[in-house]
Amino acid sequence: MTELENLQLEFAQRSLKAIEDSQQKILDLQEKEATWGMVKAWNEAEKTKQEKLASARTHKRLESQAASILRPCNQMRPTIKQEDDYEWVAIFGDVVGRGPTPETACQHFDSIWLGKDEL
């Protein structure tokens, strides 16, 4: 081979190497973009999931508050007093709820008022 042919061969090899390197860089960038796209999509999905969970928690809290407001003991406002050392009563007219704590007396009052328990 002549020196000119050797130079042409070396130039062709370097050009081919530069093209291969450029193609590899393009592939690497495309892979990074795809990975970034997946990460971004995952982050968006996670954000949506967290928003839905927060909304569900808020809904549940509001539902619980509404149920509490609608309880007969909160609507009728019975008199709550300690009858002896071991029993509390919630009294409104003929309805008397009894329990070891004010809350259990109110729960008993609610169940009587709603007809789930006897007077």
pLDDT of residue 4: 78
Q: How confident is the model over 17-65, as pLDDT tens digits?
A: 888 888 888 888 888 888 888 888 899 999 999 999 999 999 999 999 9
Contacts of 99 (CB under 8 A, 6+ apart): 87, 88, 105, 106, 107, 108
pLDDT of residue 52: 94
Segment 80-104 mean pLDDT = 94
Do 61 and 37 form a contact (C-beta atoms < 8 A)? Answer: no
Tokens at 69, concatenated: 């407001």
What are the domain boundaries of the chain? 1-70, 76-113
